[in-house]
A and B are shown apart, each in its own frame.
Chain A
Amino acid sequence: MLRAKRGDRAAFTLLVEKYQQPIVSLVRRTLRDPDEAEDIAQNVFLQAFKSAGRYRPTARFATWLYTIARNLCLNELRRRARHPADPLDSAAPGDTGRPEVQNPDPHALLAPQALLRRELDAAIELALAGLPEIQRSALLLLRDRQLPYEDIAQILDTTVPATKSLIHRARETLKQQLKPYLRSGDWPRPIRLPDSTNPQL
């Protein structure tokens, strides 16, 4: 980032390539409009480049970038709230309940499993979309393994205990929303706990 701050375009290109996916994911899951999300995500990087002079190396670049992304998303959500009749909103794929998702390796799963997985992913996306913005952001930021809780709290403009509480509430809501899938035996399990006293899972 320090090189990009000095106007090094090649260094900035590397940064964009590195962070494009997490930023697009966060923005798209927040706004639920693929086209608009991509525009906003591009603006995140443009704003980062323009305000590179204000960047201090004491803050992690990812934290700074996520903060810009969240602020732009909140601005867009506020704009939508002021103009609810905006036609862009009606085109949001989340409204259909079948968000477009990218399967990383479609050939790795057999057809029925792939279908089940796609249905599950759609259900998870829908459950995520139903969360309050701050809970969803907390959960999505937590997926970035490099991001400590302190930084997530900073991005969300809150404290670490409050962030943990947000994550807890978000997970509980997701569990409620995904209960039918949790009870089904068709879904892959993360751990094989021996001597399970709850075979329903």
Chain B
Amino acid sequence: MNSMPGHLEALRDDSLRRAPSAEEIRRLESWLAGHPEQRAQWESDLQVGQWLRELPDPPVSPGFVPKIMAALDRPSAAGSRRLDLLSFWRLWLPPLRWAAASAAAAILLASAAFIGYRHHQSQTRVEIARSVAQISDFPLSLDLLSDFDVIRRLDPAAVPVDEELLAALQ
């Protein structure tokens, strides 16, 4: 078996797909003359090969091809509907895209303005709250108001400088 020529090895496999030629049989016979122990093996190989080659194919139904062609027509109808949808989107997508982009930009601007306004509002509230807190922390007593009437009666034109105001108070 080890000394089998390559063309005979190939013949063994090829015999599954085609009948050996007269020349191939002659070569095989000549080789088998020197290797009689291989004869049985070869005969069974060639026998199985012939059986497989001659094995009838399963029948194909007569409607096989028409069924395929009919099935091809069905998807093509769906395909044309798909194409219609596609052309619709191709037609309307650019203006729709522009409108969508404009709307998105408007929403973005409005959001930014709103956020800015809310930020400004909250800042103002914080400042007012801070001022109120300062006033509320100031110690309020009646002593502070004891000279209130004197000060109120003072003529601002008559007391031009602080020293005179101090003297007047004293």
Contacts and interface: CB of A to CB of B under 8 A. Distances in A.
B61 interface: yes
A2 interface: no
Contact of A38 (B16, B29, B44, B64): B64
Interface stretch (B65-73, B148-156, B157-165): B65-73
Interface in A14-54: 16-17, 20-22, 24-25, 28-29, 34, 37-38, 41-42, 45-46, 49-50
Interface residues of B, number: 40
A193 interface: yes
Interface residues of A, number: 56
A96 interface: no
B51 interface: yes
Interface in B23-69: 25, 29, 32, 36, 39-40, 42-53, 55-61, 64-65, 67-69
Contacts of A139: 16, 52
A42 B64 contact: yes
A37 B16 CA distance: 24
Contact of B55 (A41, A124, A193): A124
Given A13-B65, A50-B75, A143-B16, A101 B58 contact: yes
Given A20-B64, A42-B64, A143-B17, A121 B71 contact: no
Contact of A13 (B40, B60, B69): B69
B19 interface: yes
A104 interface: yes
Contacts of B51: 120, 124, 178, 187
Contacts of A13: 65, 69
A39 to B, nearest CB: 9
Contacts, number: 126
A175 B48 contact: yes
B69 A197 contact: no
A182 B58 contact: no
Given A42-B67, A45-B68, A198-B40, A144 B17 contact: yes
B47 A190 contact: yes
A47 to B, nearest CB: 11
B89 to A, nearest CB: 22
B18 interface: yes
B58 A28 contact: yes
A41 B64 contact: yes
Contacts of A189: 43, 47, 50
B55 A178 contact: no
A58 interface: no
A25 B67 CA distance: 18
B40 A178 contact: no
A144 B47 CA distance: 18
A9 B72 contact: yes
Contact of A20 (B19, B43, B46, B60): B60
Given A139-B52, A164-B13, 11 more contacts: A16-B64, A17-B65, A143-B52, A144-B17, A145-B17, A145-B18, A171-B16, A193-B29, A193-B39, A196-B39, A196-B43
